Every structure is written in C-alpha cells, then in structure tokens.
A and B are shown apart, each in its own frame.
Chain A
C-alpha cells in the first residue's frame, strides 16, 4: 500500500462507519478526524486540540475509544468505526445521551460527543463503575463549561438506566 506525493488520494481503504462499509480513496497524511468531518460530513466529532489531549474527537475504533486526531486515515483499513452519529439506535437516544440531557451535563456541547463515546466505552466494559472509576475513564476528555459534576451524575444515572433495561 503506497501513495506518491503526486497522486495524493491514492490509498484505497475499506472501512465500516456506523454499520456501513465504505470504500474510500485517501491521502496518506490525513487523520481519521479529517476524513470523518471533511470527506464524510460526520461533523459530530470535533477538533478541540488536534494533539490527543482534549478528547473532543473521541470515536470508537474496533470497540476501543481513541482520539481520531491522532489516527492516520490509512491505518483504518479494515476497521470498524463508531462516531457519535452512530450511538442512537433507530432514532432512539442512547440512555447516556438522554441522561446528559436530563442532567444538564452540557452547556456549549462541544465536548459532549467525545464524552458520550468515552462514557459508552466505560459502561460497555464496566456496567457498574464507581465515581472514581468514572472520573478516571473520562480523564481523557476536557470540558470548559460544566465543571464535570453533572457529567459524572449523568453517567451514573445512565449506568442505572442501562441496568434496568437489560
């Protein structure tokens, strides 16, 4: 798999995005974040810092939460990606999304997609996290508005809702 600088969009990749396989021709030097936002119009994933610190670009790759700004798009050959746009199921909000709304766990909302993915990653693996565990697992996501408390409460509430649901 090799591109040349004279023919930039020349790496073919197959990637599954929110359940749909797509065939893309990509640049070597673009990031997953660039492709999601600029080429696929999936602008729910945000760029906050561009260097893996703030978590605003958090998406799920092969079931793992990652910062999309630190992933080169050609690395995604054969991978399954879930973005915030893929979290609601058949038009129904995920309990995490509903809990964030109910608890007022967002103000400007810029960090929220990243938080939802990180929280989903946690609850998928640890359905009954302690508050300390929640704070540890969202430590890669920064929020400038809320002071984090309502985010933590929303995640705790979502864990309970998911428990009742299953």
Chain B
C-alpha cells in the first residue's frame, strides 16, 4: 500500500480548504471499493485520502417534491436500494445499485464513487443518465452544477478538476406515467463487470403515445452514452413490436465497442440490440402496454 495522509473533514468548507491548499493529489474516499485497490496497485498515488463520509451533504438521501432525489455522493448503494422513495420512483437506479459487486461491496460502495470512477462499464451510470441527473460539484469557488451527460470524458476520466469533488447527484422527478429498467450481460451472476449494460426509460402520454424514450449504454465506448438516435423512433407514436425492433437496431449506432477479454465488438453490438429491446419491453409491460 502506498503511503498517504488521511483527513476526514466534517463540512463542505473544511473539504474546500483541504482541496484548495493541497495542489494535485487529494483523492476523496466514499466506499473505497475502487480507490483502496487502485492505491494498493499503484494506479493512483494520492498524497491525501479525504474521507467525505462525515460531511452531511455527501451522505444524504432525500426526496424533495418538485425538485427530485438528492443522492449524496458518498451514499451507499445499499442505502439507495433500501429506500422506499427510490424504490417507488426510480426502478432502474435500484436495479443498478443491486448489481454493483455483491452485498459486501454494496454496503460500502457509493453511486457517487461509481460515477467518479467513470468506468465505461459503471452500472449505475446509465440509470442515472436516463433520468437526466445533474452532478453537483464542490470546488475552490463553491458549488456548481453540470448535467451528468457531459461529466465523463474518457475511461476513468471526468471533468472534475484536481481541486474539485462530487457532492451530490440530483435526480429530477421521474416523468409522469413512466418506468425504467436496467439490464446487463455478465458471464457470472454477480461480482463481474458488464460486457454490455443498458438502461431505458419510457413515459406514456394520456393518449398512449410515448412522451419520452431514453436509452443509455455502458461498456460500448470510452464513456457511457445516451443512444440519441434510437430515442426518437417511438416518441409521439404508439409503441409497437416493429418500432421496438427499429429502436433496438438504432441503439447500436451509439455503440462503439471494442474487442476485449469479455467479448468481441460484434457480440457487444448484438447485446445492445437485445438488451435495449428487453429493457424497453419491460418498461412498456410495466406501464400496462401488452407487447
């Protein structure tokens, strides 16, 4: 294990001071389930590991009517999926959180950490993207807000500057009459990395047409992405098997997968098609549309 100092600020102000006086190498620790192993392997070499779990803003989980769900950056997966407000409103976020690692990991790992680790395969990311989540960031000049869909710049890389940390994921209220689903393909049942992950959301209008379709893909590019071209197919139209098939085909256009130990690019493209179709079907069936 590489040597570092440990600090545990009790407020955002204290955290901001630590970030501003230490040039470079401060790394925030939430659950530690990515960071501790990275430091052990020498992939990250922080001078200071800053434990953010004593800062109230980073461990909250609050539903605010009209504003949305405030998920503190260090709030654990287990806290998220056990919460009744989250279970009622954000099925895909619950499903993703329950897929991270296994139980022991979920009891520590945070959604904010999954986001900041910015793996292309991060399971919580598509589910957060389909709800058009915002990232609240603390820096030397205070707080700023950015859309999560713009937070990621490459594998393991985000827009966070060295003197910034993620404070909160703000998830807007779900569209009325909507449902979401996250599915991934992995070789084992648990404790594995997604070969492909897909999160979908469908909202229906009172006339039965789709008022919103959102699809986000993991593990098929340098960052998780929205499948923008596919999303337009069913909007303002009555959903049908044919339109589902068309949407699933177009979702592949947003995918730029590689060959690696977990699968070939060709296999991944096929998985995008299949998982898009399945997640959208699940959403529609949950909304009472027989398909």
Q: Quick one: closest A residue to B79, CB to CB?
A: A64
A58–B5 touching, CB < 8 Å: no
B5–A2 touching, CB < 8 Å: yes
Q: Which of A75, A135, A136 has the most CB of B within 10 A?
A: A75
Decide yes or no whether B104 CB sits under 8 A from chain A: yes
B107–A52 touching, CB < 8 Å: no
User: CB-CB < 8 A to B31: which residues of A?
Assistant: 70
B6–A2 touching, CB < 8 Å: yes
User: CB-CB < 8 A to B129: which residues of A?
Assistant: none
Q: Smallest Cβ distance from A64 to chain B, in angstroms? A: 4
A1–B7 touching, CB < 8 Å: yes
- A-binding segment of B33-41, B85-93, B157-165: B33-41
A137–B32 touching, CB < 8 Å: no
- B-binding segment of A3-11, A85-93, A100-108, A150-158: A3-11
User: CB-CB < 8 A to A137: which residues of B?
Assistant: 103
The verdict on A71 contacting B6 (CB below 8 Å), with A28-B49, A66-B104 known, is: no
Partner of A121, one of B3, B103, B189: B103
B102–A140 touching, CB < 8 Å: yes
Q: Smallest Cβ distance from B28 to chain A, in angstroms? A: 12
B104–A67 touching, CB < 8 Å: yes
User: CB-CB < 8 A to A145: which residues of B?
Assistant: none
A52–B3 touching, CB < 8 Å: no
A29–B107 touching, CB < 8 Å: no
Partner of A74, one of B1, B39, B51, B103: B51
Question: Bound state CA distance, A69 and B216, in angstroms?
Answer: 33
A64–B6 touching, CB < 8 Å: no
Decide yes or no whether A146 CB sits under 8 A from chain B: no
The 8 A CB mask of B76-104 against A (1 = contact, 0 = none) is 00100000000000000000000001111
Decide yes or no whether B4 CB sits under 8 A from chain A: yes
B53–A75 touching, CB < 8 Å: yes
Q: Smallest Cβ distance from B100 to chain A, in angstroms? A: 11
Partner of B104, one of A5, A8, A55, A74: A55
User: CB-CB < 8 A to B6: which residues of A?
Assistant: 1-3, 11, 28-29, 72, 74
Partner of A72, one of B32, B78, B105, B107: B32
Interface size class of A (residues with CB under 8 A): 35 or more
Question: Bound state CA distance, A93 and B31, in angstroms?
Answer: 32
Question: Bound state CA distance, A29 and B40, in angstroms?
Answer: 10
Chain B residue total in the interface (Cβ 8 A)? 30
Q: Which of B1, B29, B189 has the most CB of A within 10 A?
A: B1
The 8 A CB mask of B1-28 against A (1 = contact, 0 = none) is 1111111100000000000000000000
Question: Bound state CA distance, A71 and B1, in angstroms?
Answer: 13
Partner of A53, one of B29, B51, B191: B191
User: CB-CB < 8 A to B4: which residues of A?
Assistant: 28-29
Q: Quick one: closest B residue to A122, CB to CB?
A: B103
The verdict on A52 contacting B1 (CB below 8 Å), with A70-B32, A139-B190, A140-B190 known, is: no
Decide yes or no whether A131 CB sits under 8 A from chain B: no
Decide yes or no whether B108 CB sits under 8 A from chain A: yes
User: CB-CB < 8 A to A139: which residues of B?
Assistant: 102-103, 189-191
Q: Smallest Cβ distance from B289 to chain A, in angstroms? A: 28
The verdict on A2 contacting B1 (CB below 8 Å), with A58-B104, A65-B107, A70-B36 known, is: no
Question: Bound state CA distance, A3 and B47, in angstroms?
Answer: 11
Question: Bound state CA distance, A101 and B191, in angstroms?
Answer: 27
Partner of B51, one of A8, A67, A75: A75
Decide yes or no whether A118 CB sits under 8 A from chain B: yes
Q: Smallest Cβ distance from B190 to chain A, in angstroms? A: 4
Question: Bound state CA distance, A55 and B33, in angstroms?
Answer: 13
Decide yes or no whether A129 CB sits under 8 A from chain B: no
Partner of B33, one of A52, A61, A64: A52
B36–A72 touching, CB < 8 Å: yes
Q: Quick one: closest A residue to B189, CB to CB?
A: A139
- Residue pairs across A and B with Cβ atoms less than 8 A apart, 12 shown, are A5-B3, A5-B5, A29-B6, A29-B39, A52-B104, A70-B37, A72-B49, A75-B8, A77-B8, A121-B103, A139-B190, A140-B103
**Which B residues are within 8 Å of any A CB, using their own CB?**
1-8, 29, 31-33, 36-37, 39-40, 49, 51, 53, 78, 101-105, 107-108, 189-191
